[in-house]
Amino acid sequence: MDISALRHFLAVADEGDWSRAANAEHVSRATIQASVAALEADREEQLVVADDEGVRLTDAGVAFRSEARGRVAKAPAPAPKAGGKAKASKGKGRAPIVKGQPKPYPKRQGR
């Protein structure tokens, strides 16, 4: 079982909604649903039920939630994702110097 799939399952369990769980985990709704579906296939039992009210845990899902929390608690912290806050460069703020002459753009033909 993948730790991220366990985190996704726990987000669904906590939020009770696919979209809110996806926002909490900073992934797409499809990713959350695929992770939960993979867990259900791996365990060969249904963990969640989606209806008009939202997403709720089955009895098996309720039992699995404490196991998932324990595994996530023991797992190392996730690595920071790319695309975080950019650090300021320590340069002088000048554009790079490009040697040679730039190539002229081809003229556009009339429309």
pLDDT at 26: 94
pTM of the model: 0.68
3-state secondary structure of 70: helix
- Alpha helices (runs of H) in 1-111, residue ranges in sequence order: 3-15, 18-25, 29-43, 59-74
- Please give the chain's pLDDT, 111 residues, in tens: 789 999 999 999 999 999 999 999 999 999 999 999 999 999 999 999 998 888 999 999 999 999 999 999 998 876 666 665 556 556 666 666 667 777 777 777 766
- The residue assigned the tokens 């709720």 is 56
The angle at the Cα of 35, spanning 73 to 83, to the nearest 5 degrees, equals 75
pLDDT at 80: 67
The token pair at 90 is 């320590």
pLDDT at 78: 65
